[in-house]
Structure 1
C-alpha cells in the first residue's frame, strides 16, 4: 500500500479511536435492525419493537401492552430476517477482506471462486426439478453442495505441479463461474413450470423473503467460526499484504496457508449463499471503507468489517422491501447498483497508481 493511502487512515484514526469506531458501527447495526424490524405492512414503533424483543428474551421484564399478533410478526417473521441479513452481510465483508489479502488484489470479491455460481446450480435444480428429499432444507443443502463442488473444481483447476498461483486461481474461478451460470440459466429457460423458473431466477438475484429461524443457525455458526479462525491468522494475513517474499521470510508457508484459507472462505460463502442467494459487491466495498476507518491490520479490521457489513445489508434489505412496496426488489440488484460504480472507481484508482 502506498504512503498516501496509509496517511489518510492514520489521520482518521487520530480523530476516531478504534473503540469509538466499533461503538459507532455497533450503534449503526442496532439502528438498522430496529428500522428493519419496525418497517413493513404493519408498521411498529421502535419502543414496541424493543419491548417485544426484550419480553421474549427475558419473560416478565416488560409487561405486554401489544396484541399477540404483533409479537408473532416481530419474533417469527421480521427478527429472523434481520438477523440473517446481518449474518450474511458480516460474512461477506469478512470473507472479502480475507480474499483481498490472500490474492493481494483490492478488486477481489467473495464471488471470485465461483462458489456463488455452484450454489446457484444446486438451488436451481431443487426449484426447477421439484426436489424435496430433505423437506424445507432441500434448497439450502443443494446450494451448499453445489458450492462445495464448485470449490473443489476451482481448486484442482488452479493447481499445477502441486502449487496454486493467484492468476490460475482467478482464471479458474471466473471460467467456472461463467460455465455454471450458463448451465443455471439454461435450466431456468427450459423449465416447464414458469412459477418455479421465476422463483429460481429471483433466488439467483439474492433475497431474504421467507426467512425463518430454521435458516439462521447454520450460516450464523459458519460466519462466527470463520471470523474467529480468520482473527486467529490475522498476523499471516498482515504479512501477505507486504508480499509473498516478506511473508515467507517470516516463516509463513504461503502456498499451504493460502490454500487452507481459500477452503475456509469458500465454505463460509457456501453456507451464506445457500440461504440468501447470490449477493455481490458487499465483500468488495466494505473492506475498503473499513480500512479507511481503522487501517489494514486484520486484528482491528475484521471485527469492524463484520459490523459494517451487517449494518449495510440490513439497510439494503430494508430498502429492497420498501422502495416499491408491496413488491420486493431482489437485494442483489441494489448491491450491484451500489457496487458497480464503486468497482469502476477502484479500478480507475488502481490504474492511476
Structure 2
C-alpha cells in the first residue's frame, strides 16, 4: 500500500462520495487493511503514548518525585488486575462492570492505596511513595499471575499478551473513550498549569500562593487513575513511557507545565507510534508486545540520559 492510496482510503471514509472508493481503483482488501487494521492501531498507539506520558508528568509533579509514573507506582498493575478479572472470571466477578470500568476501578484502588500508605504526618513521603508503589505493584502482579495460571489454557496467551501491552486488535469503536479521557485530562491539567508550577516549590510555598494542595493533588490523582485505567483496558500494560518522556520534555522545553504538558503528550504519541511500528516489523512475522519493546528501549535510554545529564552538570561545576 502506497502512502497516496492509504490517504485516499482515509479521506474516502471521512468524506462520503469520493469517486475512487467506488470505481474499482481501491480493492476491498486494501480498504480493510488500512481502515480496519492499520489506522485504528496507529491512532491507539498515539493516544496511549500521549496519555501515559501525560499521566507520568502529572504524577511526578503532584507527588514531587521524578521516579513516579503509573507503571512504577502500581497503578498500571492495579488496572491490569481489574481487566484480567473480567477476562478470566467474567464481569459478574466485579459487580457487572465492563472491561474498561473494571480497569479504571483497579487503577483508582491502586492510586488510593499508594496515596494512603505514602502519607506520613499529613504529607506524602517520596520514599514511602516509591516503596508503597513497588510493594503494591508486586502484590497486584501476584494476583494477576494467580488468575493466569488458574484459568483455561486458551485464555493464557491472550491474558499475557494483554498484560505486556499491544494495540494490534484495537478497533475504531475502542478509540473514543481513551481519546475523550485524554482530551479532558489534558484540558484539566492545562487549567492547573500555574498551580502545578507552584507545587514545584513545595506544599507550604504553594499554599501561601493560594493553591489548595490537597484538593489539587487528590483531583489530579483521580484524573490520572481514570486516564491510566482507560488506556490499560484497551492497550494493556505498557511501562517506561510515563517515566522517560517527561524527563526528555523537561530538557527540551523546561519545567513550566504550561509548555511541558502538551509537549509530553506529543512526544509520548510519537514514541509509542514508533514503538508500535517496530513491534510489528523488527521480528516479522512475529509481533513483539509493546511493553517488552518500550522496556528494552526505554531503560537503556533513561540510563544514558541520566549519565549524560550528570556529565554535563559535572562539566558546568568545573
Task: Give the TM interval when normalised to the shorter protein.
Answer: 0.7 to 0.9
Alignment check: 8 A CA contact 1:107 1:347 kept: no
Q: RMSD between aligned alpha carbons?
A: 2.4
Higher alpha-carbon deviation: 227-236 or 155-164? 155-164
Alignment check: 8 A CA contact 1:144 1:271 kept: yes
Higher alpha-carbon deviation: 204-213 or 335-344? 335-344
Q: Within the alignment, does 1:324 sit opposite 2:283 as a pair?
A: yes
Give SS of 1:251's match.
coil
Q: Which residue does 1:75 correspond to in 2?
A: 35
Give SS of 1:182's match.
helix
Q: Which residue does 2:4 correspond to in 1?
A: 47
> What is the deviation of 1:148?
2.4
Q: Which residue does 1:13 correspond to in 2?
A: none
Number of residues paired by the alignment? 306
Structure 1 residue corresponding to 2:180, chosen from 221, 229, 250: 221
> What is the deviation of 1:247?
1.9
Q: Where does the alignment leave 5 or more consecutive residues of structure 2 unmatched? A: 314-318
Alignment check: 8 A CA contact 2:40 2:170 kept: yes
What's the TM-score once normalised by structure 1's chain length?
0.79
Q: Within the alignment, does 1:173 sit opposite 2:133 as a pair?
A: yes
Q: Which residue does 1:86 correspond to in 2?
A: 46
> Residues of 2 paired with 1:259 and 1:149: CA distance?
13
What's the TM-score once normalised by structure 2's chain length?
0.87
> Residues of 1 paired with 2:108 and 2:303: CA distance?
30
Q: Which residue does 1:304 correspond to in 2?
A: 263
Q: Which residue does 1:293 correspond to in 2?
A: 252
The alpha-carbon distance between structure 1 residues 324 and 342, as it changes in their structure 2 partners (threshold 3 A), is closer
- Kindly provide the CA deviation profile for residues 200-229 of structure 1, in whole angstroms up to 9, marking residues without a partner as x: 111111111211122111111111100110
Give SS of 2:77's match.
helix
Q: How does 1:199-348 map to 2 (within 5 A)?
A: 199-345=158-304
> Residues of 2 paired with 1:231 and 1:173: CA distance?
26
Q: Where does the alignment leave 5 or more consecutive residues of structure 1 unmatched? A: 1-43
Give SS of 2:130's match.
helix
> Residues of 2 paired with 1:346 and 1:245: CA distance?
31
> What is the deviation of 1:329?
0.5
- Kindly provide the CA deviation profile for residues 278-327 of structure 1, in whole angstroms up to 9, marking residues without a partner as x: 10111111122222322221111211211111111111111101122222
> What is the deviation of 1:83?
1.1
Alignment check: 8 A CA contact 2:104 2:228 kept: no
The alpha-carbon distance between structure 1 residues 305 and 333, as it changes in their structure 2 partners (threshold 3 A), is same
Structure 2 residue corresponding to 1:144, chosen from 92, 95, 104: 104
> What is the deviation of 1:162?
5.3
Q: Which residue does 2:316 correspond to in 1?
A: none
Alignment check: 8 A CA contact 2:207 2:213 kept: yes
